[in-house]
Amino acid sequence: MQAKGRVFKYGDNVDTDVIIPARYLAIADPKELAEHCMEDIDKEFVHKVQPGDIMVANKNFGCGSSREHAPLVIKVSGVSCVIAETFARIFYRNAINIGLPIIECPEAAQDIKDGDEVEVDFDSGKIFNRTTGKEYQGQAFPEFMQRIIKAEGLINYINEK
């Protein structure tokens, strides 16, 4: 399983209220909701993001409330993977549950710049920055998590059984 795309870079403590502001949570349609992804810190994100692009952030990505809307709008916006130094625990679990691949790698998170072209191999945990030629070793997904992500989320994975 792999991801490849252009990077959108963010800093520390990107919370769920920034990923999807609470004022939009009454919107039921995931595509319509995703039109507001990151708008409070990056108004151009939804206009620039392309299918396959990658988010990179520093520490504690996804902190704040436990809403599943946050990883959902990232995924629906077209992002194929989020790389961060660390993730808030509930965001990490919610991301896997809805089938959004995320990977922790402090060195890559600090080094990769906005606009870089990056590839991620989830089987090995390797992250390759095509722009700089640097390679990083992140934590590979266990096989059961890869199956959940390939199924597009936990509910689909369970229904396949």
Mean pLDDT over all residues of the chain?
93
Segment 96-119 shows an average pLDDT of 96
Nearest-10 crossing angle of helices 69-76, 89-98:
50
Among 28-37, 43-52, 76-85, 136-145, name the one with the lowest average pLDDT. Answer: 136-145
Segment 84-102 shows an average pLDDT of 94
- With a pLDDT cut of 90, the percent of the chain lying above it is 80
Segment 86-100 shows an average pLDDT of 93
pLDDT for the residue numbered 161: 65
126-160 pLDDT, tens digit each: 999 999 999 999 988 888 888 888 878 788 878 87
pLDDT for the residue numbered 157: 76
Q: Which residue has the higher pLDDT, 152 or 8?
A: 8
The gap from C-alpha 18 to its chain's centroid, in whole angstroms, comes to 14
Segment 75-90 shows an average pLDDT of 96
